[in-house]
Every structure is written in structure tokens, then in C-alpha cells.
Amino acid sequence: MAESGREQRRAATVAEIKAAARRLLISGGTAAIGLRAVARELGLTPPALYRYYPSHEALVGALIADLYDELTAALMDLQNTDEAADLGARLYLLANGLRDWGLANPAEFALLFGTAVPSPDAPDHEETVGHQAAMRFGSLFKELVAQIWHWQPFPYPPDEQLGVELVEHLTQESEHFGGMPAGAIYLSLTFWTRLYGLICMEVFGQLHWVLPDATAYFEAQLYEIGLALGLDCPAPE
């Protein structure tokens, strides 16, 4: 019982630390999430904080993992609201859910998609909790596009159009895309970067010069992508 009590207190303190780090992120951006700043926020000494997170990178990585899991859970909840939704409807739910979350949480979105913490070149990068949470998020879209492909294969560029090096890289990823060929993965990645780039530009305020509200443009882009994937998607209003 005593051990359980200590574990509960530790878990509660960890939750408070990450909540404080998120408040600092929202108010001052990634640079504001310092261990000393978090300690001041909670009325702790910096050495006390080191018992929970040995470095700034460890704290930010834990926050990244929480945010990715929060986003993933939100998108999964959207899918579960309509279990009878077809593949086209699921694409719309995921894409619009990601956009809505980003617009509602711009600071958190910037941390997840605008920074690389820790460095992807670090030897243990793939073992970090942040990277693993990011892979759980990414699997939602990978699994959906694989389902679309196996339901009705869509046209894709031939290997000779992509080049040997790119085909080799994409083929290595095939198992993560349900066995899809390189060209189909290439097209899926193209559509993902198109949607992702559009959401980033909107969240970071880079579309205001031409689109005060990018909703209609986003819907039109999503409609084009749905058609290219052979989905029965509603036309933009």
C-alpha cells in the first residue's frame, strides 16, 4: 500500500509538471519550456524537478508524447462516432479532425509538427516516447490509405517515373502500408504532404494574405484527393 501511494503521488507530480510545461508552451512557445521555468511554475526547486525529468529534452519529449496521444485519441473518437462511415467519410473525418485540432491548439501543433525534438539524427531517436507516439498517430493515416488501396487500387505513377532510389526507399516502407507498391505509397505521401502543408500554412498564419478563412479551400483540396483515390466524396458546397 505504501508503494502504491508513492507511485500515485509520483504520477500526480508528473502530470502537474507536464501540465505546467504545456501552459508555458501556450504562453511562450517551445523556448519557454525550461526546467527552471517549470520548477518556478510549480514552486519547486530545479533539483527536485530533475528527479522526474533528467533533462529539458526528456521533459519536452514526454510532452510531445502526451500531445500526440491526445491528438490520436481525438481522431479515433471522431471515427468511432460513425462506425458505418465508408472510407471516404473516414478520410474526411481524419483530415478535418487534424485541421480542427491544429487550429484549436496552435502552440501544441507547432511543437509536434514545427520542431524536431529530439533530433531525428540521434542514435536512439526511434526509441523515444515522442517518436513512438508519433508513429501511433501516423498509423491512423497509413492504415486508412492501405484499406482504400485494398478496397479499390487507385492509379499511381510507374516505377520508371519515380527513379530507382526513390522506389527502393518506398519499397522498404511497404510493410507499413499494408503491402502497397512503391508508386501507390508515393501518391499517398504526396497527398499527405499536400494536406499537411496546407494545415501548417493555415495554423501558422501563412494563408491570410489570400484566404481569411481557408475552410472552403481545404474542402476543395480534400475533394480532389478523394476523387484521385477513387472515393465517393461529397463535392464542396
The full set of domain ranges for the chain reads 1-54, 57-228
Residue whose C-alpha is closest to residue 111's, from 155, 64, 72: 64
Separation of alpha carbons 222 and 94, rounded Å: 11
Nine cell digits for residue 193: 504532404
Residues 98 and 199: beta-carbon distance below 8 Å: yes
Mean pLDDT for 7-19 is 90
Q: Quote the CA–CA distance of 64 and 161 in Å, as a whole number.
A: 37
**Contact present, 90 and 79 (Cβ < 8 Å):** yes
Contacts 24+ apart (CB under 8 A), 29-33: 29/107, 29/110, 30/60, 30/110, 30/111, 30/115, 30/117, 33/59, 33/60, 33/63
Report the CATH number of the 57-228 domain: 1.10.357.10
pLDDT at 96: 94
CA atoms within 13 A on the CB side of 84: 0
Q: Tell me the per-residue pLDDT of 182-199, one tens digit each, with 9 for 90 and over.
A: 999 999 999 999 999 999
Query: How is domain 1-54 classified at the architecture level of CATH?
Result: Orthogonal Bundle (1.10)
Where residue 22 falls among pLDDT bands split at 50, 70, 90?
A: very high
Report, as an integer, the average pLDDT of 222-233: 91
| Nearest of 120, 25, 103 to residue 63 by alpha carbon | 25
The residue written with cell numbers 471515427 in the block is 79
Summarize pLDDT for 125-159 with one digit per residue, the tens.
Answer: 566 888 899 999 999 999 999 999 999 999 999 99
Mean of the pLDDT values across residues 4-30?
90
Q: Report d(CA 151, CA 88) in Å as an integer.
A: 12
Instruction: Tell me what pLDDT residue 121 has.
Output: 59
- pLDDT at 82 (0 to 100): 73
- pLDDT at 146 (0 to 100): 95
Q: Is the pLDDT of residue 79 over 90?
A: no
Quick check: 119 pLDDT over 60?
no
pLDDT at residue number 232:
82
* pLDDT average, residue stretch 75-89: 84
- Residue showing cell 492501405: 146
Q: How far is CA 86 from CA 63, 177, 179, in A?
A: 34, 19, 21
For residues 58-75, average pLDDT: 94
